[in-house]
Chains A and B, each alone.
Chain A
Amino acid sequence: DGGITQSPKYLFRKEGQNVTLSCEQNLNHDAMYWYRQDPGQGLRLIYYSQIVNDFQKGDIAEGYSVSREKKESFPLTVTSAQKNPTAFYLCASNKETGELFFGEGSRLTVL
C-alpha cells in the first residue's frame, strides 16, 4: 500500500547528540515536509522540499538539517544546536491539490 513511513517511532537521545529521523514515501509525491508538534502549539513547519536536491527553511529551522537526494526520502537531523528537541515530529508529502498526507510520527525524547 502507498504511504509515508517514519522511523523510528520512539527515540531517546542524550544532550549533545545528533539524531536523524527517517521519512520515506512511495506516493510519488514531489513535495515533502517536516513538522514539529508540541502540546498546545499545533504544528510548526521545520523544513520542506518541493523537488529533489532542493529544500527551504520553514518557521523553526534553527537546529535542524535536511537532505533530499531521492524523491522518496527526506531525512531530518536534529542537531545538538536545537535547544529544546523533545517533541513529536511529523513528516508529510503532497500532490498538486495541496492535500497533505502524513506519516505516523516519531517521538523524540532528550534525556
Chain B
Amino acid sequence: GEDVEQSLFLSVREGDSSVINCTYTDSSSTYLYWYKQEPGAGLQLLTYIFSNMDMKQDQRLTVLLNKKDKHLSLRIADTQTGDSAIYFCAESIKGYSTLTFGKGTMLLVSP
C-alpha cells in the first residue's frame, strides 16, 4: 500500500540550508508534493515535481527526486525564521486521486 515517511523534526540556524527528506513506497507515484503549514492554518503548496523529473528549482527551493530509492528531498537555501513551519511530503498516482501525506517535519529556525 501507499506509505510516506518523513523525519519529525529539524532544527537549523538562520542563514543555513535546510534539507527535509521523504521516502515513499508506491512506485506508481506520478506527482510528489511539498506543502507548508504554519501554526493554526491550512496547508500551502510550495512546489511539486513530476515523477519523470530528477530536480526542480524555484527560487530558494530545490526538490530532488531519486526514483530508484523512492526518495524525495526539499532543500531551502538561506533559511529564514519565517520558514519555521511543518512541511508535508505527499504523493499521488494520477490526477483527481487522493493524496497520501507523510506525518510532517517540523522545521525550527533559530536566529
Contact = CB atoms under 8 A, between A and B. Distances in A.
Do A and B bind? Answer: yes
Contacts of B90: 100
Interface residues of B, number: 25
B45 A100 contact: yes
Contacts of A90: 42-43
A96 interface: yes
A50 B101 contact: no
A94 B97 CA distance: 9
Interface residues of A, number: 28
A42 B104 contact: yes
Contacts of B82: none
26 contacts: A4-B42, A6-B42, A33-B98, A40-B8, A40-B103, A41-B103, A42-B103, A42-B104, A43-B101, A48-B98, A50-B96, A90-B42, A95-B95, A96-B95, A97-B48, A98-B92, A98-B94, A98-B99, A99-B31, A100-B33, A100-B99, A102-B35, A102-B43, A103-B42, A105-B40, A107-B40
Interface of B: 8, 30-31, 33, 35, 40-45, 48, 88, 90, 92, 94-99, 101-104
Given A43-B43, A104-B41, 9 more contacts: A40-B103, A42-B88, A92-B42, A98-B30, A98-B92, A98-B94, A98-B96, A100-B43, A105-B42
